[in-house]
Amino acid sequence: MSIYGTQLSAITFIAIPATVFATDWVPLLANVCIVLVAPIVVFLYLPFYRRLNVTTAYEYLERRFNLAVRLLGSLLFVLFQLGRMGVVLFLPALALAATTGMNVYLCIALMGVLCTFYTVLGGIEAVIWTDVLQVFVLLGGALVALFVIAGNVDGGFAGIFQSAAAEGKLRTFNWTWDYTVMAVWVVLIGNLFGNLMSYTTDQAVIQRYLTTRDERAAARSIWANAVLVIPGSLVFFTLGTALYVFYKAHPALLEPRLQTDATLPLFIAEKLPAGVAGLVIAGVFAASMSSLDSSMNSVATALVTDFYRRFKPAAEDGACLRLARWLTLALGALGTGTALLLATYDIKSLWFAYTKILGLVGGGLTGVFMLGIFTRRATGAGAFAGVVAGTALGLYAWLRTPVHFYLYAAIGAAVSFAVGYVASLVLPREGRSMEGLTLFTLRAKQ
């Protein structure tokens, strides 16, 4: 439940219904791709993290390749989480501004300070249990809002689906070969690699695998998360459709100047009973804080483990803990600044913005983990070249081509893997053997 809550949180509660409100159900396939990724993670990736006794995923990259690849991988993860923190902090601030009339910049600043203070006090155990509570609050709040909408629409749920179907709002499959739109193949391929990035290279998720009792318990957590995604996605996609039908029937209630992502907070403020609305908004903030503390906790862990402790192995635990707390304060300030920057732009969908960041930063990282685990010949120099090439081509696809952003992660991963493998054959090999810690050697040891 902690994995599920960390990956979705306030992005799910606010951004997904807003996206469906403005479009249709085509992005649904993106959410359920974790079902395809779960067996890959359980059988091919999880054994490495559990049996190597690592603190961060990027320690594996040094053991398999070299220090430079580890540092680059950890740095890319940190950059991604900084972008993510901005999104998950901006969304609840948007909700508070829509429901109370407060200035959105003031809301971001207040939430940034509160979240940072909360995160400094908490450890991974507090983070995980907060996530568990968050899942109940998120799903419960969404269901309450959904039933209230159904009670205010002619025909209830049947009326919602009939009206939405007549408007084409339930379209789930876009059958075209056009790579610039959300075609079925674009959504599936892009999000297959996007989910691989999240569940195989993201320290915020991987640190959950490492807190379980054993490998079997970690595997169960991944399967449970995959099962939770399906009904959870259906609830939030239905909520977005219900919002569209409601405001189509009551257009005077929709504030045209608000951003699309403020649609659900507006409904909560205007239509839910005061006590229920307060609880739902509180749930949104709890979700945001839980996701934010996960990001801060994992980034601080990566910075201390992959940088500070790597170069100062004799550092005492107390010194590392103090550094982690100071880093958390700095990360809170950076996340708040990112959210304030997001507030200055007219972003149509923060869910899409989050997916774009994920693909741009994570594609090359996904490819280098694949290179290390599934090939014997890959070297450190080749892996480093692959990550740089994959990340650079992802940025080029964003800046210079019309390719859909769902494909950024696939492009980055494929280029990183291919360039890394070819470069490993061409560039001089390191003095030590680079064939250890692959899938083949792990199975041979078993």
pLDDT at 287: 66
CATH homologous superfamily of 2-348 equals Sodium/glucose cotransporter (1.20.1730.10)
* Cα 62 from Cα 68, distance rounded (Å): 8
* Cα 58 from Cα 26, distance rounded (Å): 34
**Cβ contact 146:319 at 8 Å:** no
Give 3-state DSSP helix, strand, coil % of the chain, rounded to 5: 80, 0, 20
- Which secondary structure element, helix H or strand E, spans residue 92, and what is its range? helix 67-100
Tokens 């405001």 belong to residue:
247
DSSP state letter for 49: H
Task: Indicate the angle between helix axes 124-151 and 274-303, nearest 10 degrees.
Answer: 150
Q: Between residues 414 and 123, which one has the greater pLDDT?
A: 414
- Which secondary structure element, helix H or strand E, spans residue 366, and what is its range? helix 350-374
Q: Between residues 319 and 91, which one has the greater pLDDT?
A: 319
Q: Between residues 133 and 382, which one has the greater pLDDT?
A: 382
**Cβ contact 57:206 at 8 Å:** yes
Q: Between residues 429 and 250, which one has the greater pLDDT?
A: 250
Least confident of 8-12, 67-71, 160-164: 8-12
pLDDT at 243: 93
Domain ranges of the chain: 2-348
* Cα 176 from Cα 54, distance rounded (Å): 44
* Cα 102 from Cα 282, distance rounded (Å): 16
> 182-194: per-residue pLDDT in tens?
899 999 998 899 8
DSSP for 159-187 reads HHHHHHHHTTTT--------TTS--HHHH
Over residues 365-381, the mean pLDDT reads 89
* Cα 274 from Cα 279, distance rounded (Å): 9
Kindly tell me if the per-residue pLDDT of 217 is higher than 70.
Answer: yes
- Which secondary structure element, helix H or strand E, spans residue 40, and what is its range? helix 34-40
Kindly tell me if the per-residue pLDDT of 405 is higher than 80.
Answer: yes
* Cα 148 from Cα 245, distance rounded (Å): 13
Query: Is the Cα torsion angle 251, 255, 256, 262 positive or negative in sign?
Result: negative
Over residues 186-206, the mean pLDDT reads 88
| Nearest Cα to Cα of residue 164 among 304, 23, 317 | 23
Rounded to the nearest angstrom, the gap between the alpha carbon of residue 50 and the centroid of all alpha carbons in its chain is 22
pLDDT at 432: 47
Kindly tell me if the per-residue pLDDT of 346 is higher than 70.
Answer: no
* Cα 171 from Cα 168, distance rounded (Å): 6
Q: Between residues 420 and 86, which one has the greater pLDDT?
A: 420
* Cα 273 from Cα 407, distance rounded (Å): 42
> 144-179: per-residue pLDDT in tens?
889 988 988 888 999 999 999 998 899 988 889 998
> In this prediction, what percent of the chain has a pLDDT beyond 70?
91
**Interior angle at CA 284, CA 146 and CA 361, nearest 5:** 110
Structure tokens at 149: 């909408």
> 85-122: per-residue pLDDT in tens?
887 788 777 767 766 677 888 888 887 887 787 777 76
**Cβ contact 398:69 at 8 Å:** no
Instruction: Give every CB contact of residue 325 below 8 A, 6+ residues apart in sequence.
Output: 120, 300
